[in-house]
Structure 1
Amino acid sequence: MTITETSRSEFITLRGLRTHVRHWGKPGAPKLFMLHGWMDVAASFQFLVDAMERDWHVIAMDWRGFGETDYPTRHPGTSSYWFPDYVADLEALLDHYQPEGQVDLVGHSMGANVVCIYAGVRPARVRRVVDLEGFGLTRTRPDHAPGRLARWLDELREQPALRTYESEAAVAARLQKTNPRLPDDRAAFLAAHWSRRNAEGQWEILGDAAHKMTNPTLYRIDEIMAIWAKVQAPVLHVEARDSATLKHIAHKQPLEEFRERFRAFPDFREVIVDDAGHMLHHDQPRVVARLIEEFLA
């Protein structure tokens, strides 16, 4: 693997948290904001950035509780992560780097969900949205509420933990177990940014274990669709042909019925990428880069 675009790191304070931001490209080039998914880090976009042909200033932060960004749960009185905080963190990032004019947003998975919500809440601020494998979440029902809240209270008593690994190579092997398409060199690169050695000599994942806790609030798709309906920007949804995530989130809902939620977007277009899974920007970075650049042109 050849790295053609070297990134640089910067730490800024966003909403009281020390936040790690990764930059690629030259200042002065058109800005492109990339937002990573759950249990991932900003460096995950390296292969996608390398595959881009135009000059960009790519800006990608580690979300709160991921990578090198601070964990709110290390502060008293905070035990969970809330989606509105991600939306507010994104706005703070944009206020810092591009307070004027419209922005182009690329999000993967959880990051895609956040940027689609943001585009509906601040429609005049967003020019284009690229949604990489972002589907929303599984539909819930009101009768799920008692059990959901009870599980969350139980988990507060005994916080979850993340597995550790004996070496960086073991972390890379773990990444390849999740994504068998991932070549050795890309797995090694990601492992170096996704983990670090702790005081006990084990490699730990750079993510807060609290992310594994049950969310005590229900996912109300009707509310989300009402937000999506306010999006003024064209939305490009890029989906992997072999997306296990889509089937997992749809749960027992037939896929065609599940996809009806996307009708909420006023300007929505969809592309399916072959020979790719959920981490399609790792599996087919050149294809995804071409789709993004054509869409943003």
Structure 2
Amino acid sequence: MYQAQRTSRSEFVPIRTLQYHVRVWGGPAPDKTPLVLLHGWMDVAASYQFVVDALNHNHYIIAPDWRGFGLTATTEADNFWFPDYLADLDFLLDHYVPHGPIHLVGHSMGGNVAMIYAGIRPERIRRLVNLEGFGMPATRPTQASGRYASWMDSLKKLHQGDMDLSAYDTVEGVANRLMKTNTRLGADKANWLARHWAQETVHGQWRILGNPAHKVPHAMLYRLEEVQALYGAITAPTLMVEAEDESMTQWFKGKFTLKEHHERIKVVPNLKMAHVADAGHMVHHDQPQVLASLIDDFLLNS
């Protein structure tokens, strides 16, 4: 099994009625800008361990489990709203870094949160890194009726138990699931991740640490004009990292393309692009050393 080189500690912080689980590496110091890592959908903060181990510098790192993921429990929730992630992050930063800016890194959904937050609170971000956080297809007002109907129908399916996440008989079963989803993921890392991505129940099964309500589609339309206005308000130097394996075609079926994404992010004032070879969407698992070098160089030299 993978052996972590840098040990994290778990902290629980009261945030907006929740006990937010936060994984912390290192500690604050006057000469350190805190590095905040935001994980993606159906992932956990511990997912960054491989990158943390590969970083050359002794950063003070703060990585929350988003509400309904990992050890941040939300048993009563039956759907999730994007603005809540923004408010949760704001409260967390008030707790950990009440004064001064941070470096902010986000993967996938976390990358989308990071970009929007950086446009809302530009003064809080010194450097911004977006790992495969592409946004969503543009929508039209005429789609609102269908979107609300889909949301309500999915809520009914959730409460009928039709959207429950699979349970596994062994932790090895969880690891195999991770490797099936990402064929580049080795057994050593998969077995380590499985113990953070899932938890053993009193009945001996392993349950994924994700609320199935995350599978309920958002009720609100994705407003591209609003998003681009927020992108344009970002003041921090920004690094957009893309993996060699392009996954947007599979996800969006032509409704949103990589070319459209590149057009959108042109409004970000101080933007650099980086590409990681031999990597898919889970770039922080596939090439942690390469990604760590990109992050270290960008934080120090941009």
> How high is the TM-score relative to the length of structure 1?
0.95
Measure, in 2, the Cα distance between the counterparts of 1:207 and 1:266. Answer: 35
TM-superposed CA distance for 1:254, in Å, is: 4.6
Q: How far apart in 2 are the matches of 1:218 and 1:188?
A: 38
Distance 1:30 1:234, change over 3 A: closer
Cα deviations across residues 101-132 of structure 1 (Å, max 9, x unaligned)? 11110111111110110100011111110001
Matched, 1:33 2:36: yes
Alignment of 1:7-26 (within 5 A): 7-26=8-27
Aligned position for 2:193: 190
Shift of 1:142: 2.0
* CA–CA distance in structure 1, aligned partners of residues 203 and 79 of structure 2: 26
Q: CA deviation at 1:31?
A: 1.5
TM-score (norm 2): 0.93
Instruction: Describe the shift of the 1:285–1:194 C-alpha distance in structure 2 as closer, same or farther (beyond 3 A).
Output: same
Does the CA contact (< 8 Å) of 1:243 and 1:276 recur in 2? no
**Corresponding residue for residue 203 of structure 1:** 206
* Cα deviation digits, residues 11-69 of structure 1 (max 9, x gap): 11011110101011244244111010000000000000000011111110100000000
Counterparts of 1:11 and 1:273, CA distance in 2: 34
Q: Does 1:122 align with 2:125?
A: no
SS at match of 1:218: coil
- Contact kept? 1:162, 1:205, Cα under 8 Å: yes
Question: Which residue in the other structure is 2:95 paired with?
Answer: 96
User: Contact between 1:19 and 1:62, CA under 8 Å: does it hold in 2?
Assistant: yes
Identity %: 51
> Where does residue 295 of structure 1 map in the other structure?
298
Alignment of 1:208-223 (within 5 A): 208-223=211-226
- Whether the aligned pair in 1 keeps the contact of 2:168 and 2:205 (CA below 8 Å) is yes
Secondary structure, aligned partner of 1:158: helix
Give structure 2 stretches of 5+ with no counterpart. Answer: none
Comparing 198-207 with 234-243, greater Cα deviation is found at: 198-207
TM-aligned CA deviation for residue 244 of structure 1 = 1.2
- Once residues 246 and 50 of structure 1 are traced to their aligned partners in structure 2, the CA distance between those partners, rounded to angstroms, is 32
**CA distance, structure 1, for counterparts of residue 202 and residue 248 of structure 2:** 34
Tell me the alpha carbon deviations over residues 72-129 of structure 1, each in whole angstroms, 9 at most, x when there is no partner: xx34xx5311111000000111100101111110111111110110100011111110
Cα shift at 1:246: 6.3
AA aligned to 1:285 is P
Question: What is the CA–CA distance in structure 1 between the aligned matches of 2:61 and 2:205, rounded to whole Å?
Answer: 32
Structure 1 residues without counterparts, runs of 5 or longer? none
CA contact (8 A) 2:249 2:257 kept: no
